[in-house]
Amino acid sequence: MNQPPDTISTPVRYRLQRARAKYLPFAFFATACIGCVFLWQFQDRTVVQIGEVEAVSYTLTTPLAGVIQWATSDGEKIPVFADVKKGQVIAGLDDHVVRTQIHGVKQQVLAMNEFATARLVELDNPLEVGLARVAGPRISDEQTDSSDAINARAEAWQALSSFAGLSMKRIRHCELKLELRKIEARLRTLQPASSGSAATAPPAPERIRIQTERLKVAGEIQRLAIEIAAGETSAAEEIAEVDIDHLAAADEILFRQRSDRSRLISEQLASIAAMSESLDIISPASGQVSKTFVQARQTVQQGLPVATVTPSTGTWVVVYSREHGIVRPFPGMPVTISLLRDPSQRFTAAVESIGPRIESVPGRQRANSRIEEWGRPMRIAVPANVVLPPGSLVRVAFELE
């Protein structure tokens, strides 16, 4: 169809300009609305807070009363901020108290052994008495009663003698462990001060001699431990199986008294063994000594602080659930943590515990340190394979459901 002569055709470019001016504001508004909805949904699923890495500081105390003996290379003390490893001996106590108790128990054991030996000697022929229970038929009741009584006496005094011998081994075991402790302290004083050429140099003759002595004592300790483990059950069974009914009244009283004393001696030896194990004050974690409270050769009482060890790796992340952030935090809530100074270092974890009350948020964790913020503290355990220096700031992203 032909266009009328009085109509002017509008170029295409002008038509596009008119459509853009007419519909572009609506398209921009719709796009903005969609973007706002998307951002709102994303913000609703993830909340990011600033947290701080913290570590447990261990305050080591004296397990016993005594005199402090430092066990460092200089033999005096550990300076503040000195690096320590897990299991390293921080300081040691003098073993005078333990050796005094060992001496007292040893006198009791020797007295028991002397008593049992004397009673065995009083028997006419201990070898035949030991075989009396397997002898042939008795001729008369008097002989039977006499043999049973002799057998019961021999069993009682032999059981006490066996217990005394086992107790002497346990005492010797404790004494050797104290000796080994001194040898290891001497070896620590010979440790090289640096990792340079002195550290790679062949050990000195003195060090070789001490190491040889240490191996000898350690071997003796191991041998005694095996013998003690093998003899503890049999010694207790021997005392329990004594036929008390066939003992004379006087012998029964004496045996019961020594039997009660044997139980007391066993308890004392167990206590002494535990005391000897706690003489050395050991670092529970790798880190640094942040504080010291005592000096070398100082007399201390039980429970007195010795030093504070701060680990070199953080134990947990502390972050606050602010009032305008997470509404309902719960243990086990998944989180993603990244270092503030190095966002590439990232790991996942979960909320371990939540504080019972709302507290003031520390200034370092606020968006503006001058504006007070409040929230509930939450602890997030740091995985064992992640190393975070204590005091580091981290971003904690909470994945909300």
Euclidean distance between CA atoms 91 and 93, whole angstroms: 7
Q: Nearest to residue 257, comparing CAs of 117, 116, 126?
A: 116
Euclidean distance between CA atoms 282 and 98, whole angstroms: 18
Q: Which CATH class is domain 45-57+312-399?
A: mainly beta
pLDDT of residue 191: 66
- What is the value of pTM for the model shown? 0.69
pLDDT of residue 42: 53
Query: Where along the chain do its domains lie?
Result: 45-57+312-399, 96-278
The β-bridge partners of 376 are 321
Residues 6+ apart with CB under 8 A from 224: 169, 172, 173, 176
Continuous segment of H or E residues that includes residue 379: strand 374-381
CA distances (Å), 239 to each of 133, 154, 213, 243, 258, in order?
A: 17, 12, 38, 9, 10
Euclidean distance between CA atoms 336 and 77, whole angstroms: 43
Rounding to the nearest 10 degrees, give the CA dihedral for residues 228, 101, 178, 163.
Answer: -10
pLDDT of residue 30: 79
pLDDT of residue 216: 95
Residues 6+ apart with CB under 8 A from 336: 346, 347, 348, 396, 397, 399
Q: What is the pLDDT along the chain (401 residues), one digit of tens a residue?
A: 455 555 566 676 766 676 667 777 777 777 887 777 666 655 546 778 889 999 888 999 998 888 888 756 555 667 788 888 888 888 889 999 899 999 999 999 999 999 999 988 887 554 444 444 444 444 344 444 468 788 888 889 999 999 999 999 999 999 999 999 999 888 887 765 444 444 445 567 888 899 999 999 999 999 999 999 988 888 888 888 888 888 888 888 999 999 999 999 999 999 999 999 999 999 998 899 988 888 878 888 989 999 999 898 888 999 998 866 665 788 888 899 998 888 888 899 999 999 888 889 998 888 888 888 888 999 999 988 888 888 889 999 887 66
Half-sphere exposure of 217 (CA within 13 A, CB side): 19
Q: What tokens were used for 23?
A: 């519909």
Euclidean distance between CA atoms 29 and 203, whole angstroms: 82
